[in-house]
Amino acid sequence: MNCSMLKDEEYVINVTEMLPVWTAEGRKGLSDSLNFWDWIKYNIRAHAINYSKKKAKERNATESNLQDVPRKAKQEYETTPNDSNATRLNAAQEKLEPFLKTKPKE
């Protein structure tokens, strides 16, 4: 699990809400403490993987949308180089930069 997920409030809330459910399921179906502990770890891990995938898809979609705007603005500026198109291009690039700075390194 990526420990940076513990800083994600939504993830922490999800796990906090699901932990009693997983605990009840584990206590109902498992009598051995080790199996119960493995059950809890399994559920946390599975949730972390699914949550990470969901966040990555959202981040990729946002990035794609943010990159489309400067790309289109650049095409317009190259086709018709005027102040209006230049301003639109600069604004689109400025909007994309903060997102790219916060993007996790791969």
**What is the tens place of the pLDDT at every residue in 9-36?**
999 999 999 999 999 999 998 889 999 9
> Chain-centre distance of CA 26, in angstroms?
29
Domain-wise residue ranges, the chain: 7-50, 59-106
Higher pLDDT, 92 or 61: 61
Higher pLDDT, 64 or 104: 64
Q: Which of 102, 100, 99, 6 is nearest to 52 (CA)?
A: 6
**What is the tens place of the pLDDT at every residue in 31-57?**
899 999 999 999 999 999 999 999 989
Tell me what pLDDT residue 105 has: 61
The mean pLDDT of the chain is 85
Cβ density class 60-75: b for 16+ within 10 Å, e for less: eeeeeebeebbeebee
